Chains A and B, each alone.
Chain A
Amino acid sequence: MLPQGVKKTITDNPKKLANLIDLVNLPSTLREFVGQSRISRLGCFMHVWSYIKTNNLQDPNNKNVVNCDKNLRSILMGKPQVELVELPALIKLHFPKEPK
């Protein structure tokens, strides 16, 4: 029923942890949105989520859906509507794995 890996916290995997909390230089679109030139993936998620909350962008009929405003659309691939389920994945797109 449930994936086995979920219970294990990623915090004991240093690589995955770094991927989440390391500061990354941002592309210009994102830089405008967060108002910082560097942010971590976690920080970015928090920023976007709090932006959604403060601007009441959740659809009143279905809270699981976010109606994007102009700013949000600019960073979420221009989608007019996104589901909360895909939010982390969409934000992850801005933080590609560094080619080693």
Chain B
Amino acid sequence: MGKIPPTFRPAISTNSLLKTQNPTTTTQPQKPPRHFNNNKNNKNKKPTSKKPDFDGTKKLPVLFKSPDLSEAKKVFNSIVTTNQTQTPLDRSFYNSVLQSYTSISTVDNSISLLNHMIKKTPTFSPDRSTYHILLSQSCKVPESDLSSVQKTLNFMVNNGFDPNPGTTDIAVRSLCSVDRVDDAVELVKEMCLKKCPPDVYTYNFLIKCLCKCRALSTVYSFIDEMRTSFDMNPNLITYTILIDNVCNAKNLREAMRLVSVLNESGFKPDCFVYNTIMKGYCTLSKGSEVIGVYKKMKEEGVEPDLVTYNTLIFGLSKSGRVSEAKKFLKIMVEAGHFPDAITYTSLMNGMCREGEVEGALALLEEMEAKGCSPNSCTYNTLLHGLCKSRLLEKGIELYGAMKEACMKLETACYATFVRALCRVGRVAEAYEIFDYAVESKSLTDVAAYTTLESTLKWLKKAKEQGHAV
């Protein structure tokens, strides 16, 4: 019960995600080829995949079968000639054709095909997005240097399109998507020298990627370099990303230092920053500090939101201060927020820890009465609590409801349930739970079996030693 329940995690992390989401993505030309993809799933397919899925149209069943350039040219010619009688093809059509080819070919061949397309069809004038398709491809090539990216950029410039922030953004995102973070950093510096610095969204995106896979010192030195050489300063969102990162690493001291740096830079921490810090203290089960953050927010006049209250209630429940957590449930309602499944589940978790399982069950009724439907995490928490408190019959009843709703069992809950059944000699039922766990894919077969096996082994031993089980 010490972990943050799964349903809780997205609720916290989304705030930083939401904020850093890049509005420029809408300008990205890598939209799925409209003419070929009726299937929306294709949007997520990497162009590097060997089998491009083009079965969306009846007009063009399979476009490019081989990465061979002369073949591709032939295919393109045939598309153009067969289509002459119909409506004229627009630019996005040509872009999709090019994009399909980039997914299976090399950068050089794609450039050649584009040249061929321009020569062959005078009505087609490539725009920036056409070149961005090539750029994105060249970034995803598994290479150790930026030569093909530079080649594409030069090709683009030679055709009259100077890179803009969108260009930088696409390159950085494509590079990061294939884990070429160091190359992305290098490219950003290069683009800065070429007077095309990344915008703040690209910058923050890169910082986030760096945080994920590089040491903190690397991130700091990148920020420093950007500041001293190119006059790019971190903003509030950058600091939120950094604070979130150090909080996840349980380095609260660094988080507090960052907050003071943030204040010195003239920013005022907002709700997201406070929520992030609060989450940090929650992972350390530091109830007093969690409340401290809440008080600080109030002092600074920052209005707590739903996430704040959920974090607060979760943190207090986790550090064994359930009565205070209950108090905050009232405060939150008074402040006009609607407690959700996360709020109630956190509180139930705290109550179960304290052995107040009956109270937790009453809370379940209360929440349902208020129109808030419990989720699988709620049920798992309760089942776990019931088994721990040896209220097995109620637990079995609850399990029945879970089974009906096809809910998955969480690992800890499953193990506790199986143990509780075995302890009272209901081995056959434990086997049934095992079957359900495997069937519902709650756990892997191995994990489910291992738990069952070790529980039975323990039971047998206990019996042999004549212990009352």
Contact = CB atoms under 8 A, between A and B. Distances in A.
A85 B427 contact: yes
Given A9-B411, A85-B427, A20 B446 contact: yes
Contacts of A21: 446
Contact of B453 (A58, A63, A88): A88
Contacts of A17: 446
Given A85-B456, A85-B460, A88-B457, A45 B449 contact: yes
A75 B40 CA distance: 52
Interface in A20-71: 20-21, 42, 45-46, 49, 58, 63-64
Contacts of A45: 449
B116 to A, nearest CB: 53
A84 interface: yes
B460 to A, nearest CB: 5
Interface of chain A, helix or strand or loop or mixed? helix
A88 B452 contact: yes
Interface string A7-20: 10111000001001
A6 B451 contact: yes
A20 B453 CA distance: 11
A11 B428 contact: no
Contacts of B355: none
B230 interface: no
Contact of B447 (A5, A11, A86): A11
B263 interface: no
A35 B429 CA distance: 28
B454 A6 contact: yes
Bin chain A's interface residue count: 20 to 34
Given A11-B450, A84-B431, A42 B445 contact: yes
Interface in B423-467: 425-429, 431, 444-447, 449-460, 463
B446 A11 contact: yes
- Most chain B beta carbons < 10 A, residue from A2, A6, A11: A6
A45 B445 CA distance: 11
Nearest to B453: A88
Contact of A9 (B428, B450, B458): B450
Contacts of A58: 428
Contacts of B428: 58, 63-64, 84
Nearest to A42: B449
Contact of B458 (A3, A63, A87): A3
B415 interface: yes
Interface of chain B, helix or strand or loop or mixed? helix
Contacts, number: 64
A9 B456 contact: no
Nearest to B422: A85
Bin chain B's interface residue count: 20 to 34
Given A64-B427, A84-B427, A85-B460, A6 B455 contact: yes
Nearest to B460: A85
Nearest to A53: B435
A89 B458 CA distance: 12
B140 interface: no
Contacts of A5: 454
B132 interface: no
A48 B445 CA distance: 15
A80 B453 CA distance: 22
B444 A11 contact: yes
A83 B425 CA distance: 11
Contacts of B447: 9, 11
B384 interface: no
Contacts of A42: 445-446, 449
Interface in B399-427: 411-412, 415, 419, 422, 425-427
Given A17-B446, A89-B457, A6 B419 contact: yes
A88 B434 CA distance: 13
A21 B449 CA distance: 11
A3 B427 CA distance: 18
B321 to A, nearest CB: 25
Nearest to B438: A46
Contacts of B449: 20, 42, 45, 88
13 contacts: A2-B419, A5-B454, A20-B450, A42-B445, A42-B446, A58-B428, A64-B425, A64-B426, A84-B428, A84-B431, A85-B422, A85-B427, A85-B463
Given A11-B450, A49-B431, A88-B453, 17 more contacts: A2-B458, A3-B454, A3-B458, A6-B455, A9-B411, A10-B450, A10-B454, A17-B446, A21-B446, A45-B449, A63-B428, A64-B425, A64-B428, A86-B456, A86-B460, A88-B456, A89-B456
Nearest first, the 8 A-B pairs at minimum CB distance are A63-B428, A10-B450, A88-B453, A84-B427, A64-B427, A3-B458, A64-B428, A6-B454
Interface of A: 2-3, 5-7, 9-11, 17, 20-21, 42, 45-46, 49, 58, 63-64, 83-89
